[in-house]
Chains A and B, each alone.
Chain A
Amino acid sequence: MDSAARRLTLPASVESVAMFRDFVRSGAVAAEVPVEELEKLDLVLEEILMNIARYAYVPEAGKAEVAFAPDGPGKLYLEISDWGNAFNPLDVEPPDFSRGLAERPIGGLGVFLVRSLVSSIAYRREADRNVLSFWFPAPGSFPKAGE
């Protein structure tokens, strides 16, 4: 990510999610990401950050970092990092949708939602950190002007 990127590092916790959200929102609005996409962006951020808060550092505490840069009109490139054990959340199997209400597992929906909303998301391990990167809105998720 180039030097024009903005970064915010906070403790990986549920209390930090709102601060990360406001930080990214300000960049998304400045980059003219379509208003109707902003809550989807909130959702993707919350799901990834809660995953880090709940699983990356157990039982210790650690930090999370969100970085973003505008990438053309109406679009952001984002990277979300943690310094926990190497773990690719995109490898997690999707929930078993064939089960009825009584047997439906209560967890596992967050990563599935992220993958559904940002199809191009990618994971890499870089030195001692896990990095998830994606463009938002995801390519092809909304028509370009004039289409």
Chain B
Amino acid sequence: MTIETEELEKAVLVKVRGRMDAENAHEFEQACEQWITSGAKHLIADLEGLQYVSSMGLRSFLSVAQRLQSNSGSLILCRLNGLPRQVFELTRLIGLFPVFDTSQQALATLSWIPLLDG
């Protein structure tokens, strides 16, 4: 799994590629945690390159989202496809996270909620 992050005006884009499994899911959580600690409220996870996610990965997504929500922020998912999308659907997580087809759509949503952006 590789993780690249990019700071945007209203959010941090977190691009995840490869396989997120029991061995490495904590790396995603740690990468997000660093941004949250330094003040990021909204994270957009770009999952176009995510090929595989197991329940340990889902735990990381849930944990990051709960942490952000408790701070009036959000974890937004975009470009979720294939088996990872099926896994989010089967576990009914798809309804808990905002999910968009593109990162631009995710950003557009944030522009409508400036009060949450501190």
Q: Which of B55, B70, B92 is the one whose CB lies under 8 Å from A110?
A: B55
Q: Which of A46, A107, A112 is the one whose CB lies under 8 Å from B22?
A: A46
Q: Is B9 an interface residue (CB 8 A)?
A: no
Known contacts A17-B21, A17-B23, A101-B96; is A47 also within 8 Å of B65 by CB? no
Query: In the complex, A112 Cα to B56 Cα: how many Å?
Result: 13
B69 touches A102 (CB 8 A): yes
A39 touches B52 (CB 8 A): yes
Our count of residue pairs bridging A and B at CB distance below 8 angstroms stands at 63
Cβ contacts B35-77/A at 8 Å (1 or 0 each): 0000000000000000110111011001101100110000000
**Residues 91-118 of B at the A interface (beta carbon under 8 Å):** 91-93, 96-97
Chain B residue contacts of A14, Cβ below 8 A: 22-23
Q: Is B8 an interface residue (CB 8 A)?
A: no
Task: Label chain A's interface by main secondary structure.
Answer: helix
Q: Is B31 an interface residue (CB 8 A)?
A: no
B59 touches A109 (CB 8 A): yes
Q: Which residue of B lies closest to A37 (CB)?
A: B83
Query: In the complex, A18 Cα to B56 Cα: how many Å?
Result: 15
Q: Is A100 an interface residue (CB 8 A)?
A: yes
A113 touches B62 (CB 8 A): no
B69 touches A109 (CB 8 A): no
Chain B residue contacts of A17, Cβ below 8 A: 21-23
A113 touches B87 (CB 8 A): yes
**In the complex, given contacts A15-B23, A50-B22, A116-B90, what are 15 additional A-B residue pairs having Cβ atoms less than 8 angstroms apart?**
A17-B23, A39-B51, A46-B22, A46-B56, A50-B55, A101-B62, A101-B65, A101-B96, A109-B55, A109-B59, A109-B91, A112-B91, A113-B55, A113-B87, A113-B90
